[in-house]
Each structure stands twice: as C-alpha cells, then as structure tokens.
Amino acid sequence: MSLRINDIAPDFTAETSKGTISFHDWIGNGWGVLFSHPKNFTPVCTTELGAMAGLQDAFAARGVKVIGISVDPVESHERWKNDIRTATGFEVDYPLIGDKDLAVAKLYDMLPAGAGESSEGRTPADNATVRSVFVVGPDKKIKLILTYPMTTGRNFDEILRAIDSIQLTAKHQVATPANWKQGEDVIITAAVSNEDAIARFGSFDTVLPYLRKTKQPTA
C-alpha cells in the first residue's frame, strides 16, 4: 500500500555514514526529514546534498533532524562527500543511509517490489522514483510527501517553508494560504467560530464567508 499523510512512518534499522540507526529512535521527540536521491556521483544529486548541507542549521533551528538515503553503500557516500564539497562549498555532516539492499526504498514505496534486492548494477534511471522527501513529526506520523522527477532538483527552501506551516498549524487552529511565508497573515479554520476567533486572535478580516484572515499567532 502507498504511504499517505498521517500514516505512521515505517520504522527501520539501517547502516549510515554516522553508524547504525533505528529511525524512530533517531527522530526521538523532534521532527525528521528523510530525503532520498537516485544515485551517488550524479550531477543533480550532488547539488541537492550540498544545498541541504548549507541549510542544515536552518532545519536544526526548527527542531528538525535531516537524514539522506540512496541505494548506494555507505562507503560510496563517504567517497562522494569530497565531490559535494568541491561543487557546492558545503560539507555534508548529516547521516546518509546506505540502502544497498533496497529495503528502505521499498518500505517507503519509492521502488516497486520487482526492483530486485541489490543496488549493484542499477543506473540512476532504475531509481528514478527515489527522489522523495518525507517530513515526519514527533508523533512519528508523515506530515508531508514530495517526489520529484529525475531532471528537477528540489527547492529545499520550500521544504523549510512547508515545515514552518506544518509546525504553526499543528499548534494553532489556522491554515496558511498559497505562497505563505513566516510572519505573513494566516487563515482561521472553519472549526473556529467568529466569537472564538476574536477571543483567540483579537481581530480578523472576513474576505469571504468561508475565508477569514488574521495575523500569524506568535505564542
């Protein structure tokens, strides 16, 4: 079955560039981002892992741990880090999972069951669906799923923006409009009456009977 938002993120134990981890234990009481890439030593993936390394502190400031994964072995990850630093100027310090038996990729529905049982001999095209992002909350439930095509590098700023929204809306009965950014007005959900909205937010603007906007809560 395909994974969906609010499903429990499947737990697993795997070898990484930082040693053996159990995924749920590794997340702990915080948030986690599991992001995959099709293959080491390929151009788009090299820029992506460097971009994530450059934003690692921004994720950490939000209480979010980052972990990468591909079907390459851990020793390949270690060799590749020099190229990533050369190309992007950033040092990869977050763990990288070596999923050489394809177990985690299949567990997260990133590869079909018939993909085989080994990464040996696989081309990037064989792993085309392995360019995915899973945001997992402290409750170990999946909050966001994104999958990109082979030729399109991810926008990691957008993943941060989405996490800002997810964390804010988990705390308050609000939603965020299209293209929302931190600090901008938010939408009051339908579950909140006008009277309750005044008590909670002080004031709001009624754009449409079903669309009410207010300042972003700060508490």
Active site residues: 45
**How open is the CA angle 200-32-69, to the nearest 5 degrees?**
155
Which letter, b or e, does each residue of 37-51 get, where b requires 16 or more Cβ atoms within 10 Å of its Cβ?
bbbbebebbbebbbb
Of the candidates 121, 69, 114, 58, the residue with the CA atom closest to the CA atom of residue 95? 69
- Look at residue 97 and give its three-state secondary structure: strand
Contact 69, 104 (CB under 8 A): yes
Contact 48, 154 (CB under 8 A): yes
CA atoms of 133 and 151, how far apart (whole Å): 16
Distances (CA, A) of 65 to 30, 50, 57, 120, 130: 8, 16, 10, 29, 20
